[in-house]
Structure 1
Amino acid sequence: MNKIFLILIAIGFPLSVIGSLLHFPSVLMFGVYCLTIIAIASIMGRATESLTIVAGPRIGGLLNATFGNAVELIISIFALKAGLIGVVLASLTGSVIGNLLLVGGLSFFIGGIKFKRQRFNVFDARHNVGLLTFSIIVAFVIPEIFTQSMNDTKTISLSVGISVIMIILYLAALFFKLVTHRGVYQTKESEENIKEEVPEWSKGKAIIILALATLAVAYTSERLVHTFQAVGEKFGWSELFIGVIIVAIVGNAAEHASAILMAYKDKMDVAVEIAIGSTLQIAMFVAPILVIVSLLFPVSMPLVFSLPEIIAMVTSVFLTIVIVNDGESNWFEGATLLAAYFIMGIGFYLL
């Protein structure tokens, strides 16, 4: 599988450069860009897995989520520059439901097929879903309600104020988990499992590969954004569907691959940290950063989602809380999460 991804990169990235210079058909290049980003994301997943073995499940999961979300952040910034506010908001929605339902569901399902019963650190999971509930309800639902009677200027001001507070709280959460309470709630089993393995790459090599992969993804993502309009018209996809499903899946490909791989190896602490921790980072850091960055462009992005997007995110969070609250998983719980994702996907496609 790794050789296949390397071949895709060797062919896809040069073709991406040549195709953009020679103006190949947008629909063709859309496929090339998506496959190239997914292939590069697999390399990022291998690098972060090496870092996970060295640094432990918490930091490894955080690094995986951060570099995985860096791809989506880059795509979203270019989309903001192009004035595609709807696509960016939809991609944030897609990241939330995609990480919780698709990534979490596939992890539980694939891991559950191999192991009848998998355990993970329930304290970390509850801490993350508690923060996630707060961020979705307070940061996403409240603006939707308050801005009903506000003009555009006040809406942006409210969005910026909420964004600054959320970023500060997210940094405080990292300080809590990695400094003041590091190891307090960590299970011994997960740490022992990590230490038994030998990383594929050294720490320095893994970081260099991650940096180079991020640069390659940045270029490819910028070109991908320019194909959205043509692809949407060709296949009849709405801006909402492209953002919620297509951009979210491509942008989070690294996390998808890594979380499923970790679950297959029975490293559920890392898999859950990637799925839930990545969603938390999207809600509390990436979305607020995009709101602030949008102030630099002609059209600013308010932190206001449509009603279907709000309901989809809130439903995903509450379903995840019910599933992870016991600290155990199995394949049927994974199937339940996947079923919810596909139902929402059909709904967004038909909107």
Structure 2
Amino acid sequence: MVNRIFLIAVIAGIPLSVLGSLLHWPSLIMFAVYCLTIIALAGFMGRATESLAIVAGPRIGGLLNATFGNAVELIISIFALQAGLNGVVLASLTGSVIGNLLLVGGLSFLIGGLKYKRQEFNVYDARHNSGLLIFSIIVAFVIPEVFSMDMDEGKTLTFSVGISIILILLYLFALFFKLVTHRGVYKHKTDEAGEHEEPEWGAKKATLVLLLATIAVAYVSENLVHTFEEVGETLGWSELFIGIIIVAIVGNAAEHASAIVMAYKNKMNVAVEIAVGSTLQIAMFVAPLLVLLSLMFENNLTLVFTMPELISMVTAVFLTIILTNDGDTNWFEGATLLAAYFIMGIGFYLL
């Protein structure tokens, strides 16, 4: 049923997106059309990556899902950078971090926990990810804020570029550690659980769907960015709220859906890998990559967030670590994560 709705949304949304941009339809209408089209396209990307990942195991499956899910947000952010909307880009990065940890993680734990009393996942992976979360958010994002207080713009940019290179290198090392040198070393009983599944699509079809969906998302995203300013003025939304809530939810729609479905199937290793792995990829790869790409544009991006953004990300990290470090979860822990997300959402709306 959901897949049929997504198909209809794509068939109707892409022509409407083209017509609306050519005929200059009202920004508010086109904003809704673009968002719904991107969410539907993200659904197809999620199904394609799930098909490719079924035979690859939870770690690689979660990585694939997070990577192609974050591709949507990366595309939106690049066009936002080009348009000089650096505040929206930083806000969308913040929204991805708190959205993946609190919204995606919370919904996964809640919906999975309503079906199963207890759900377990690999505790060794959880502890490994905890260290990376503390490093990527608290060390790499808080330190630039503190040091930049005594730096001019040029030094702040140089510092951000240096941090970005280190983050990308460490992220690549982390992948090499988990997928090559220590693959299978930290096994958990949940790694052996699960039944054999057949992929929905073959490798060729899944790859073709991914390619076409990514091209379509790139086109629609470019048009979406041009509606932000007028929509914000019309609805009274700040640049911060658009980035943190709207762009983050639309950009991460694919992994949102996939993680929840995996939790409902009691495949918590994949669900947690999507939620936490996607956060790590945003913080250690997407954010620093955007800093480096911004050097090609007139307005350069630095890793200096606002205080509300930093406090929200740090809070989300500590809450997630406390609830996941035991490798066990339930519906109430999911509700706790969701409550934290809604409190932050209200705060950013009122700012």
TM-score by length of 2: 0.98
Aligned to 1:316: 316
For residues 218 and 186 of structure 1, what CA distance do their matches in structure 2 show?
Answer: 39
Post-superposition offset of 1:52: 2.2
Question: Map of 1:1-351 to 2, 5 A cutoff?
Answer: 1-187=2-188, 189-193=190-194, 196-351=196-351
Secondary structure of the residue that 2:256 maps to in structure 1?
helix
For residues 191 and 258 of structure 1, what CA distance do their matches in structure 2 show?
Answer: 20
Post-superposition offset of 1:191: 4.4
Post-superposition offset of 1:116: 1.0
Post-superposition offset of 1:129: 1.9
For residues 339 and 167 of structure 1, what CA distance do their matches in structure 2 show?
Answer: 32
Asked if 2 retains the 8 angstrom alpha-carbon contact of 1:97 and 1:316, the reply is yes
Post-superposition offset of 1:292: 0.4
> Residue deviations 1:163-187, cap 9 Å, x none?
0000000000000011101111233
Percentage of identical aligned residues: 75
Post-superposition offset of 1:130: 1.1
For residues 216 and 137 of structure 1, what CA distance do their matches in structure 2 show?
Answer: 35
Q: Give the letter for the 1:311 counterpart.
A: I
Gap regions ≥5 residues in structure 1: none
For residues 41 and 214 of structure 2, what CA distance do their matches in structure 1 show?
Answer: 8
Asked if 1 retains the 8 angstrom alpha-carbon contact of 2:121 and 2:190, the reply is no
Q: Give the letter for the 2:238 counterpart.
A: S
For residues 165 and 191 of structure 2, what CA distance do their matches in structure 1 show?
Answer: 34
Asked if 2 retains the 8 angstrom alpha-carbon contact of 1:190 and 1:267, the reply is no
Post-superposition offset of 1:188: 5.1
For residues 99 and 311 of structure 1, what CA distance do their matches in structure 2 show?
Answer: 16
For residues 305 and 193 of structure 2, what CA distance do their matches in structure 1 show?
Answer: 43
> Residue deviations 1:290-329, cap 9 Å, x none?
0000000001011100000000000000000011011011
Post-superposition offset of 1:58: 0.5
For residues 217 and 139 of structure 1, what CA distance do their matches in structure 2 show?
Answer: 30
Asked if 2 retains the 8 angstrom alpha-carbon contact of 1:54 and 1:203, the reply is no
Count, aligned residues: 350
Asked if 2 retains the 8 angstrom alpha-carbon contact of 1:56 and 1:191, the reply is no
Post-superposition offset of 1:189: 4.0
Post-superposition offset of 1:231: 0.5
For residues 200 and 191 of structure 1, what CA distance do their matches in structure 2 show?
Answer: 22
For residues 205 and 125 of structure 2, what CA distance do their matches in structure 1 show?
Answer: 29
Post-superposition offset of 1:53: 1.1
Q: Give the letter for the 2:227 counterpart.
A: T
Asked if 1 retains the 8 angstrom alpha-carbon contact of 2:43 and 2:254, the reply is yes
Post-superposition offset of 1:199: 1.0
Secondary structure of the residue that 1:271 maps to in structure 2?
helix
Post-superposition offset of 1:246: 0.4
Post-superposition offset of 1:120: 0.6
Post-superposition offset of 1:54: 1.4
For residues 78 and 313 of structure 1, what CA distance do their matches in structure 2 show?
Answer: 24
Gap regions ≥5 residues in structure 2: none
For residues 208 and 191 of structure 2, what CA distance do their matches in structure 1 show?
Answer: 27
> Residue deviations 1:12-65, cap 9 Å, x none?
111111111111110000000000000111111111211221111100100000
TM-score by length of 1: 0.98
Asked if 2 retains the 8 angstrom alpha-carbon contact of 1:259 and 1:271, the reply is yes
Greater CA drift, 125-134 or 199-208: 199-208
Q: Give the letter for the 2:42 counterpart.
A: A
Post-superposition offset of 1:124: 0.9
Greater CA drift, 324-333 or 46-55: 46-55
Secondary structure of the residue that 1:129 maps to in structure 2?
helix
CA RMSD of aligned residues (A): 0.9
Secondary structure of the residue that 2:302 maps to in structure 1?
coil
Greater CA drift, 51-60 or 254-263: 51-60
Q: Give the letter for the 2:296 counterpart.
A: L
1:267–1:314 Cα change, 3 Å: same
> Residue deviations 1:273-298, cap 9 Å, x none?
00000000000000000000000000
Q: Give the letter for the 1:260 counterpart.
A: I
Asked if 1 retains the 8 angstrom alpha-carbon contact of 2:104 and 2:256, the reply is yes
Q: Give the letter for the 1:290 counterpart.
A: L
